[in-house]
């Protein structure tokens, strides 16, 4: 089924949808560290936030934050790249491109471009999980667009 988008005036949106946007803005600004902190601050339940978070975006941010380029330094061992890709997919990320160098001194650099508009959790949480996998030497964002 194809997604449909509508341009809706703010004053007719339900309060929970507007508060969800406030939570996303708090998280993006760094004023709060966790979803729990943000929903408490604006007076919204966590379940309402997770229900609406993928459906409400500020119009000027809708396209800007969709693709992230991530550089990973991985130990040269069987299965680690597929483990990384499965983790990204598990968070709802869609891998668009993969570029891998030949391993040097037992480490290969992999650069992936990921569409992030459907992430089920915050990008920082996904990066943290990637970093925690055995054999991952470095994970960093090298571009957003």
Tens of pLDDT along 52-110?
A: 988 887 765 544 457 899 999 999 999 999 999 999 999 999 999 999 999 999 999 99
Q: Which of 27, 43, 61 is the last residue of a domain?
A: 61
Are residue 41 and residue 91 in the same domain, yes or no?
Answer: no
Q: Is residue 2 part of a domain?
A: no
What integer pLDDT is reported at residue 30 of this predicted model?
83
Calpha distance 75→62 (Å, rounded): 35
| Residue 1 resides in a domain | no
Residues 134 and 73 in one domain: yes
Q: What is the pLDDT of residue 25?
A: 87
Q: Please check whether residue 5 lies inside any domain of the structure.
A: no
Assigned token pair, 61: 């941010």
Same domain, 72 and 40: no
Nearest-angstrom CA–CA distance, 17 and 96: 30
Note the pLDDT of residue 130: 95
Quote the pLDDT of residue 144.
Answer: 78
Last-in-domain residue among 46, 61, 76: 61
Segments forming the whole domain that contains residue 44: 10-61
3 lies in some domain: no
Considering the chain, what is the average pLDDT of its residues?
88
Side-chain-facing half-sphere of 22: CA atoms under 13 Å: 18
Confidence of residue 122 (pLDDT cuts 50, 70, 90): confident
Say how many domains are in the chain.
2
Using CA of residue 119, residue 123, residue 125, residue 127, what is the dihedral sign? positive
Asked whether residue 42 falls in the same domain as residue 73, the answer is no
- Looking at the fold, whether 46 and 92 belong to one and the same domain comes out as no
């Amino acid at each position: 089924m194809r997604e449909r988008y509508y341009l809706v005036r703010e004053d007719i949106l339900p309060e929970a949808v507007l508060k969800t946007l406030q939570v996303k803005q708090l998280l993006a600004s760094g004023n709060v560290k966790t979803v729990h902190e943000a929903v408490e601050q604006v007076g919204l339940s966590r379940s309402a936030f997770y229900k609406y978070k993928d459906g409400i975006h500020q119009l000027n941010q809708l396209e800007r934050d969709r693709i992230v380029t991530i550089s990973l330094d991985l130990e040269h061992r069987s299965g680690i790249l597929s483990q990384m890709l499965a983790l990204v997919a598990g968070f709802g990320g869609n891998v668009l491109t993969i570029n891998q160098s030949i391993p040097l001194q037992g480490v290969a650099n992999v650069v992936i471009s990921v569409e992030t508009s459907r992430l089920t959790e915050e990008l920082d949480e996904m990066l943290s999980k990637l970093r925690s996998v055995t054999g991952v030497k470095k994970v960093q964002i090298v571009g957003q667009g």
